[in-house]
């Protein structure tokens, strides 16, 4: 018997705690087959620092509360492991910690960078003759992972953005006769437009007239024409724009630095679009930047998303039991659209790591500024279902779980 190491990695989502919840349920169901379930504090950093959360120390009520909280209950990270061939200290350390705690299963829940981490670790473990079963579970609001029909976290972020743009749309429509004519909602999504595209599901007349996605080069004159037409035809224009859109080549919207993986911090396109419209068309504009709100709005999580995120966690434990899906990332497979049916499958980590899946051409309308019916059909099942949260004293019942660690067995590590 061996122990399981699980951790969250990369930007959090509304439903990654649902995956942890599924991991815990799966572990409890098959507890006799594993020594322990240890959760890394702050992702892989927890493995390096030997900060391992001991799930056995929590009450059932505490563990149950995890499911209804946004964020990562025990932390996540943006942390790139050094090259094992030239600077192997971190890998050696993880190996020591895993040996000391008899860890035989490594499950990492993250996006493309995180799947790369899993792959590197797996390769290193094999090279050092350590039999550790390594698996990835997908997670990203960006929906940009290869090998899976959709990514847990995306549906909930989409549902939040759709509700938000509809509400702002109702507002705009009420006022446009004598006030603001154009509203812009900036979404996340890095270099893909999935989140901006999802707002196309918002119901008319409160949905976007224009959707700007990085998959299409920004066409300034066509854009301004479309906005002006909408204002003259409808009295107002609703726009959603992905943070990754560039108004011109080599543009940086902000000088906000790079993360551990060297990715430029995006965000801040909405004010530029607002200025462009004000300057060129002289329409009064307003903009919102949803930022972290879209990836943490647990109060609006999608039922489908919660179900899939949790199921993947449970499935991962069962896969450990069967020693199946080694060096694989679990994935969602769409079985049918209507009724929506899905299953769990897998894809090699190597096909996922560091790649970005962009919106396919057939999902983007001819003008390049909206989505097609095929895209709507794809997106629709992902935002279905509501699970209202408990509130107390007017606030959501979020609370921070105390971190209860397993006893350290290795010497302290300074990294």
Q: Which residues 6+ apart lie within 8 Å of 339 measured at CB? A: none
Q: Is 286 in the site for a second copy (CB under 8 A)?
A: yes
Give whichever of 291 and 327 is closer to a second copy, judged by the CB atom.
Answer: 291
Q: How far apart are CA 391 and CA 250, in angstroms?
A: 45
Q: How far apart are CA 210 and CA 368, in angstroms?
A: 9
Residues 395-414 binding a second copy (CB under 8 A) are: 395-396, 398-400
Beta strand 395-396 pairing with 285-289: unpaired
Give whichever of 11 and 22 is closer to a second copy, judged by the CB atom.
Answer: 11
Q: Is 287 in the site for a second copy (CB under 8 A)?
A: yes
Min CB(136)–a second copy separation in Å: 19
Per the document, the length of the chain is 415
Q: Is 261 in the site for a second copy (CB under 8 A)?
A: no
Q: How far apart are CA 325 and CA 148, in angstroms?
A: 14
Q: Is 157 in the site for a second copy (CB under 8 A)?
A: no
Contact mark string toward a second copy, 69..98, x via CB under 8 A: xxxxx-xxxxx-------------------
Min CB(176)–a second copy separation in Å: 9
Min CB(133)–a second copy separation in Å: 26
Task: Decide: helix, strand or coil at residue 131.
Answer: coil
Q: How far apart are CA 6 and CA 26, in angstroms?
A: 12
Q: Is 322 in the site for a second copy (CB under 8 A)?
A: no
- List the one residue from 159, 226, 310, 328 that touches a second copy (CB under 8 A): 159
Min CB(323)–a second copy separation in Å: 31
Q: What is the DSSP string of 150-165?
A: S-TTHHHHHHHHHHHH
Per CB under 8 A, the segment of 109-117, 122-130, 166-174, 223-231 that binds a second copy is 166-174
Give whichever of 167 and 343 is closer to a second copy, judged by the CB atom.
Answer: 167
Q: Is 12 in the site for a second copy (CB under 8 A)?
A: yes
Min CB(299)–a second copy separation in Å: 6
Q: Which of 40, 8, 6 is nearest to 403 (CA)?
A: 40
Per CB under 8 A, the segment of 87-95, 100-108, 219-227, 250-258 that binds a second copy is 250-258
- List the one residue from 96, 291, 356, 408 that touches a second copy (CB under 8 A): 291
Query: In the 8-state DSSP scheme, what is residue 65?
Result: H
For residue 134, the surrounding DSSP H or E stretch is: strand 133-138
Min CB(322)–a second copy separation in Å: 31
- Give, in degrees to the nearest 5, the angle at Cα 413 between 411 and 415: 175
Give whichever of 358 and 401 is closer to a second copy, judged by the CB atom.
Answer: 401
- List the one residue from 292, 343, 362, 367 that touches a second copy (CB under 8 A): 292
195 near 157, Cβ under 8 Å?
Answer: yes
**Residues acting as catalytic residues:** 142
Per CB under 8 A, the segment of 28-36, 143-151, 281-289, 348-356 that binds a second copy is 281-289
Q: Is 20 in the site for a second copy (CB under 8 A)?
A: no
Min CB(395)–a second copy separation in Å: 5
Distances in Å between the Cα of 52 and the Cα atoms of 17, 45, 64, 307 are: 17, 10, 19, 27
Contact mark string toward a second copy, 37..76, x via CB under 8 A: -----xx-x-----------------------xxxxx-xx
- Give, in degrees to the nearest 5, the angle at Cα 211 between 303 and 154: 25
For residue 210, the surrounding DSSP H or E stretch is: strand 210-212
Contact mark string toward a second copy, 191..210, x via CB under 8 A: ----------xxx-xx----
Beta strand 52-54 pairing with 34-40: antiparallel
141 near 13, Cβ under 8 Å?
Answer: yes
Give whichever of 85 and 177 is closer to a second copy, judged by the CB atom.
Answer: 177
- List the one residue from 5, 6, 7, 8 that touches a second copy (CB under 8 A): 8
Q: What is the DSSP string of 314-370?
A: HHHHHHHHHT-STTEEEEEEEEETTTTEEEEEEEEHHHHTT--PPPPGGGB-TTSSS
Min CB(227)–a second copy separation in Å: 16
Q: Is 271 in the site for a second copy (CB under 8 A)?
A: yes
Q: Is 167 in the site for a second copy (CB under 8 A)?
A: yes
Q: Is 15 in the site for a second copy (CB under 8 A)?
A: no
Residues 210-239 binding a second copy (CB under 8 A) are: none
137 near 330, Cβ under 8 Å?
Answer: yes
Q: How far apart are CA 244 and CA 89, in angstroms?
A: 35
């Amino acid at each position: 018997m061996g122990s399981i190491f699980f951790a969250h990695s990369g930007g959090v989502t509304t439903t990654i705690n649902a995956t942890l919840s599924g991991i815990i349920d799966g572990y409890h169901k098959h507890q006799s087959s594993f020594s322990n379930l240890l959760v890394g504090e702050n992702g892989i950093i927890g493995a390096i620092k030997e900060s391992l959360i001991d799930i056995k120390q929590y009450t059932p009520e505490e563990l149950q509360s995890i499911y209804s909280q946004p964020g990562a209950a025990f932390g996540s990270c943006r942390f790139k492991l050094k090259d094992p061939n030239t600077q192997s200290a971190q890998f050696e350390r993880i190996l020591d910690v895993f040996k000391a705690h008899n860890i035989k299963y490594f499950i990492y829940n993250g996006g493309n960078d995180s799947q790369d981490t899993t792959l590197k670790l797996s390769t290193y473990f094999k090279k050092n003759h350590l039999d550790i079963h390594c698996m990835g579970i997908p997670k990203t609001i960006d929906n940009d992972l290869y090998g899976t029909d959709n990514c847990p976290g995306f549906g909930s972020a989409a549902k939040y953005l759709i509700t938000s743009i509809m509400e702002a749309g109702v507002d705009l429509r009420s006022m446009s006769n004598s006030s603001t004519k154009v509203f812009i909602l900036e979404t996340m999504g890095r270099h893909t437009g999935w989140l901006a595209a999802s707002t196309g599901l918002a119901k008319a007349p409160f949905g976007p007239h224009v959707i700007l996605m990085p998959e299409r080069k920004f066409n300034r004159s066509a854009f301004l024409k479309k906005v002006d037409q909408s204002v003259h035809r409808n009295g107002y224009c609703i726009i959603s724009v992905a943070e990754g859109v560039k108004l011109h080549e080599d543009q940086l919207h902000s000088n906000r630095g790079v993360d551990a993986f060297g990715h430029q911090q995006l965000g801040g396109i909405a004010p530029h679009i607002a200025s462009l419209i004000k300057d060129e068309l002289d329409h009064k504009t307003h903009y919102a930047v949803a930022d972290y709100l879209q990836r943490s709005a647990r109060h609006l999580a999608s039922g489908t998303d919660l179900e899939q995120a949790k199921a993947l966690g449970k499935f991962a434990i069962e896969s450990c039991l069967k020693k199946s899906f080694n060096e694989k990332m679990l994935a969602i497979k769409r079985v049918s659209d209507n009724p929506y049916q899905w299953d769990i499958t897998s894809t090699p980590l190597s096909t996922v790591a560091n790649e970005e899946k962009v919106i396919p051409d057939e999902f983007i309308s001819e003008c390049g500024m909206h989505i097609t019916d095929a895209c709507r059909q794809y997106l629709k099942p992902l935002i279905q279902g509501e699970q209202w949260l408990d509130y107390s004293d007017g606030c959501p019942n979020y609370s921070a779980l105390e971190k209860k660690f397993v006893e350290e067995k290795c010497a302290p590590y300074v990294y």
